[in-house]
Chains A and B, each alone.
Chain A
């Protein structure tokens, strides 16, 4: 057995090896110093992550399998919370139904509005800057309790003395007065309309995306005699699918978690038609103090969101168009 000649170190190779060893050592020392420095810099997040995320998640997982009551403490009950959720809790089923209805209607409507208005504002006409700001204002204040209380009154929340501006305005065009909050079919629409009214942030993201579409594409389409609608369908829409996808995911996730508006405007009424998931979970945890059951609900919510996000990602390859480098 002979070693390959190249592996036998000559004097100059020894020198090289020593040098590179010294370099590695220096780098290691540097690395070690950087390790300490790096972890010092990220320590606020790291400590917070363990204290306020990791430990609570572990506790939450444990709670989901217990009958934990804030005042009485808890006992291990296995899958009973989940059994109750899926098999005997009628209100749970209603809250899932209400949430799905809301997400399925509000998210697409909001995105369509956001895109339509972004198209409208994607022009160099004078004053568009001001309109962009005006349309964004509802989104700035939209999550607040103040707007929720106002919204309730706009639809005649205090029914005895107030028929509601919306009803009055509808009356002008001959539509009969609606009892928005008394009817399970109409109550949810007040919340959907509120969501649509706040199309501001997806609109701004669409606007940024529309600016990225190269003007040459439109010019080429014009030369080929494309109409405005054809340009939208064949040029704009395919090119902004990544942004549609991003907006869709963000809106989907926040749609599943809507709370304040339902809590203040409809309180889940009537007949649980607006008892959204997050609202029901809050009630179970902080009104009934059934924290084990609520923790189990939270885990199902996480799985639901993860599932829909996953499905969206899987189907996205069929409709989201990424401009690849080689083209």
Chain B
């Protein structure tokens, strides 16, 4: 009888410590989530606040009234150019650039992963070594070359180099292809398929997840890329959103911070949307390959 009672209190106690552990866990995790997301929420809230409230009611995340005019005023841009132009430029830069990068990377990756040719291992090592190069080494001579070619103030310096693919993605896709059974290739070869045919009919459908991951990262990095457009696009009509935002806020005498915050928020929308829809690919891409995010 006594034994049973003891056991009962023991169980109750255990359950209680378990419960308190769970509660502590969620308190910590939620508190941290608030700290992490507060700045983003603050930005969105500020973009909707009435102008006199932005710097007076600073910590609040809830505007007293929603002022959507901030978005209309921000969209009208500056210097006679609306944000429609900047967003279009950014979509060209990130969209076309991503297309070039992913298509080339897939083709090159197939060559390295499935064709045995002389010098393959050497070229592969050389390619991986280029990952170490800081972009600063290439930036200045590339600028001089593109300047000689008269490519400044066009998208060409930002797009043409990407036809060579991206080493990170080539490596990632190579690893992915190596995981596909070689028997599939051999069966197709017996059926008389060429290497090109195998690539299109056998490999390409299988590596779609890797291509999606590469496309997402490529789009992110290009959308957020600042240095490239800053250097090559000096004509405001060609500004991408990133360069435009910085020019917009650089005047030092902004009265309409509501409009600025509205455009800052809007510039994050494509990135956040992709994150929401393709989170799984992103998280797996980072966890398995160590791609910087």
Write the residues of chain A forming the contact surface with B, with a CB cutoff of 8 angstroms. Answer: 31, 34-35, 37-42, 44-49, 51-53, 55-57, 59-60, 63, 70, 117, 120-121, 123, 125, 127-128, 131-141, 143-147, 149-151, 153-154, 158, 161-165, 168-169, 197, 200-201, 204-205, 207-208, 246-247, 250, 253-254, 256-257, 259-260, 263-264, 278, 281-282, 285-286, 291, 294-295, 297-299, 301-302, 305-306, 309
Contact = CB atoms under 8 A, between A and B. Distances in A.
A45 B140 contact: no
A31 B108 contact: no
B264 A146 contact: yes
Contacts of A137: 36-37, 40, 272, 275
Contacts of A264: 226, 246
Given A52-B161, A149-B260, A200-B293, A134 B144 contact: no
Given A35-B117, A205-B286, 4 more contacts: A41-B199, A48-B165, A143-B221, A246-B290
**Interface centre among A35, A128, A151, by most B CB within 10 Å?**
A35
Contacts of A301: 134, 136-137
Contacts of A51: 161, 164
A278 B136 contact: yes
Nearest to A154: B39
Given A52-B161, A63-B141, A204 B123 contact: no
B39 A150 contact: yes
Interface stretch (B9-17, B21-29, B77-85, B206-214): B21-29
Interface of B: 22, 25-26, 28-29, 32-33, 36-37, 39-40, 42-43, 55, 58-59, 104, 107-108, 110-112, 115-118, 120, 123, 126-127, 130, 132-145, 147, 161, 163-165, 167, 170, 195, 199, 220-221, 223-224, 226-227, 231, 241-243, 245-246, 249, 254, 257, 260-261, 264-265, 267-268, 271-272, 275, 279, 282-283, 286-288, 290-293
A42 B111 contact: yes
Given A44-B104, A144-B242, A302-B133, A60 B138 contact: yes
Contacts of B118: 31, 35
B144 to A, nearest CB: 7
Given A135-B33, A145-B246, A41 B39 contact: no
Across the A-B interface, the 3 shortest Cβ-Cβ residue pairs: A48-B164, A41-B111, A38-B117
A70 B254 CA distance: 34
Contact of B195 (A37, A158, A162, A306): A37
- For B141, B167, B223, the residue with the greatest tally of chain A CB atoms inside 10 Å of its CB is B141
Nearest to A39: B117
A295 B221 CA distance: 25
Given A45-B104, A264-B246, A37 B117 contact: yes
Nearest to A200: B293
A32 to B, nearest CB: 9
12 contacts: A37-B195, A38-B117, A45-B108, A49-B126, A59-B141, A121-B29, A141-B268, A143-B221, A168-B59, A205-B286, A260-B226, A305-B132
Given A145-B226, A285-B139, A161 B33 contact: no
B275 A140 contact: yes
Contacts of B135: 257
Contacts of A205: 286-287, 290
A120 B36 contact: no
Contacts of A120: 28-29, 32
A165 B61 CA distance: 11
A141 B226 CA distance: 13
A132 B112 CA distance: 35
A60 B127 contact: no
Contact of A44 (B107, B144, B287): B107
B264 A136 contact: no
Contacts of A257: 134-136
Contacts of B110: 41
Nearest to B246: A145
B107 A285 contact: no
A294 B170 CA distance: 30
A139 B242 CA distance: 17
A135 to B, nearest CB: 5
Contacts of A298: 134, 136-137, 139-140
Most buried by B among A46, A139, A153, A297: A153
Contacts of B254: 158
